[in-house]
Amino acid sequence: MKRLFHNFTSNPKNDILSGLTVALALVPEAVAFAFVAGIDPLVGLYGAFMMGLITSLFGGRPGMISGATGAMAVVMVHMIQQGNLVGDSLPQPIENLGLQWLFITLLIVGAIQISAGVLKLGKFVRLIPHPVMMGFVNGLAIVIFLSQLGMFTETVDGQKQWLQGQELFIMLGLVGLTMAIMFFLPKITTKIPAALTGIIVVAAITIFGGLDVSTVGSFIKDGGGSGLEGSLPSFQFQIFTLFDTLQGHWGLIISTAVLLAAVGLIESLMTLNLIDEMTETRGSGNRECVAQGGANLINGLFGGMGGCAMIGQSIINVNSGGRGRLSGTVAAVALLCFILFGASLIEQIPIAALVGVMFMVVIGTFAWSSFRIINKIPKSDAFVLVAVSAITVWQDLAIAVIAGVIISALVFAWKNATMIRARKRFNEDGTKVYEIWGPLFFGSVQAFNSKFDPREDPQKVEIDFIESRVSDHSGIEALSNLVKKYLDQGKEVQLTHLSPECQDLLVKSDPDFQNIIKKSIDDPRYYVVTDLVDREV
């Protein structure tokens, strides 16, 4: 309790100002992702509020921001569309049934994510290789950059087209001014968040200068929304009366829930890892899983879009000085206040200011060092880095990370598969000794088998594993088959320096191994300290 209180009071000024900055940046993101999913913008804003508040209070990474995200919005689209079609085809049509299905799905998502935290699956984020991390942040930076290019368009006769002439120059000027403030202000003083200052200055210029530019309000209306103003989220009693509409569609609901849970956890844990590196502190992946699941559960019950960690907003928060739980809490509460009381003011903020903030996030996120090291790291790591970046842009973050981990694992397995060696020598009694070097596992089984010649070997053979370890069932099976080949030839074989775990597994698979494994044998590489002392004495 004392630690939690300290986290809220250790850096109040920076946390509060940073939280306000993040809240302003959350508005267009939540609205845009709601449009992507095909739902009302207020649902996206409610989702960002509830995700942000719960994960800030109970999550595993202070300073990390959660809300409605594009990666999850894309997954929701098909299910929402199918739900709407079913709702329209019912004898008594149900409007926006797809949205109600989303709320039901989020209940399952929450249960899956909480289970992942309880089962301590969050620790697996530590297995993500560094090239995957670098590819991830590079791809993310490109995705954020590309997403902002849509702000340089306007709708004419129902068609999107690029800004031209004076409108384009004003937009570029305001974006450039925001970026300049964010770049130069920290060199003068760090007491004022640069991002918030940039937004306020640019907003003041456009409002008092009477400039006709795209604002948050016009962005919402162009997307088909009615505005930011709304009420408090309400409990969705009706979803518990709609389970009968899911007959024949549970497969769609469950598959979507599993995918949403996986995408959310991967993106959140990757963000946690990234913020850990930026702040040189360590968060709890398992606690974050539980908090994310609880937040999505509450979203389903109270009509939010759901979501996960937002990397761009998290970086804005950390770079603006927000390191504690207070920053995320302020961002979430401020977002709700915008909806309840400040919609008219927030709708006047120019989109150019928010685009400038996000462009600075892109610059800060991209791992520019990757250009310097690309020729200095192994080619396999360079390939993983580029592949993850490309897949992030082409597909999404979750698929890119999974693909990167799989590629890295295959490369690791292949390298280790070629490392196994067998040094051969003869003892004085004529026993042929094979000294095995390198790991014996599924990838190296074939190379291991090629080292032996049961038919031509002498009557006695010893296989010494002093520099090797049998790592999996494939290795144990290969060793068992090799021994049987020697026994079929009527020859005597002994296994020495096997690990205790491997000995137990071999004996379980075939009790006859009791007579083949030599257990009472010293490891010549090590000596007991007391023995050395006794010798000196």
pLDDT digits (tens, 9 = 90+) for 196-248: 888 889 999 999 998 888 888 888 777 666 677 888 999 999 999 998 888 88
**Both 138 and 248 in a single domain?**
yes
As given in the structure block, the two tokens for residue 490 are: 């009527």
**Both 255 and 174 in a single domain?**
yes
> What is the reported pLDDT for 226?
66
424 φ, ψ to 5°? -110, 140
Which of residues 147 and 105 earns the better pLDDT score? 105
Instruction: Answer whether residue 202 is part of any domain.
Output: yes
**Both 314 and 459 in a single domain?**
no
Distance CA 357, CA 367 (A): 18
Point out which residues pair with 439 in neighbouring strands: 469
- pLDDT tier, 537 (very low <50, low <70, confident <90, very high otherwise): very low
**Both 321 and 454 in a single domain?**
no
Instruction: Answer whether residue 18 is part of any domain.
Output: yes
Instruction: Answer whether residue 393 is part of any domain.
Output: no
Compute the chain's Rg from CA coordinates: 30
**Both 352 and 491 in a single domain?**
no
Into how many domains does the chain fold?
2
As given in the structure block, the two tokens for residue 458 are: 């002498």
**Both 141 and 67 in a single domain?**
yes
Instruction: Answer whether residue 531 is part of any domain.
Output: no
The pLDDT tens digits of the residues spanning 21-38 come to 899 888 877 887 787 787
> What is the reported pLDDT for 130?
84
The pLDDT tens digits of the residues spanning 377-392 come to 888 899 999 999 998 8
Listed in sequence order, the residues at least 6 apart from 365 whose beta carbon sits closer than 8 Å to its beta carbon are 137, 140, 141, 144, 311, 312, 315
- pLDDT tier, 402 (very low <50, low <70, confident <90, very high otherwise): confident
Q: Is the pLDDT of residue 440 over 90?
A: no
- pLDDT tier, 267 (very low <50, low <70, confident <90, very high otherwise): confident
**Both 66 and 123 in a single domain?**
yes
Mean pLDDT value across residues 339-359 = 87
Instruction: Answer whether residue 42 is part of any domain.
Output: yes
Q: Is the pLDDT of residue 49 over 60?
A: yes
Listed in sequence order, the residues at least 6 apart from 165 whose beta carbon sits closer than 8 Å to its beta carbon are none
- pLDDT tier, 195 (very low <50, low <70, confident <90, very high otherwise): confident
Mean pLDDT value across residues 165-188 = 92
Instruction: Answer whether residue 362 is part of any domain.
Output: yes
- pLDDT tier, 306 (very low <50, low <70, confident <90, very high otherwise): very high
Mean pLDDT value across residues 411-436 = 86
**Both 235 and 374 in a single domain?**
yes
Residues in the chain: 537
> What is the reported pLDDT for 238?
92
**Both 304 and 425 in a single domain?**
no
- pLDDT tier, 46 (very low <50, low <70, confident <90, very high otherwise): very high
> What is the reported pLDDT for 533?
39
> What is the reported pLDDT for 104?
96
Mean pLDDT value across residues 96-122 = 93
**Both 354 and 433 in a single domain?**
no
Q: What percent of the chain stands above pLDDT 70?
A: 94
Long-range contacts of 187-190 (CB under 8 A, 24+ apart): 190/321
User: Average per-residue pLDDT in the chain?
Assistant: 85
Sheet of strand 517-518, all strands in order from the earlier edge strand to the far edge: 421-426, 432-440, 460-470, 492-496, 517-518
Distance CA 406, CA 494 (A): 37
- pLDDT tier, 184 (very low <50, low <70, confident <90, very high otherwise): very high
Of the candidates 159, 147, 122, 394, the residue with the CA atom closest to the CA atom of residue 271: 122
Q: Is the pLDDT of residue 51 over 90?
A: yes
**Both 102 and 182 in a single domain?**
yes
> What CATH number is associated with residue 463?
3.30.750.24
Instruction: Answer whether residue 157 is part of any domain.
Output: yes
The pLDDT tens digits of the residues spanning 72-85 come to 887 888 899 999 99
> What is the reported pLDDT for 37?
80
**Both 435 and 309 in a single domain?**
no
Q: Look up the domain containing 299 and give its range.
A: 10-388
As given in the structure block, the two tokens for residue 1 are: 């309790």
- Asked if 322 and 19 touch (Cβ cutoff 8 Å), the reply is yes
- pLDDT tier, 536 (very low <50, low <70, confident <90, very high otherwise): very low
The pLDDT tens digits of the residues spanning 493-507 come to 988 888 788 888 788
- Asked if 144 and 354 touch (Cβ cutoff 8 Å), the reply is no
Instruction: Answer whether residue 127 is part of any domain.
Output: yes
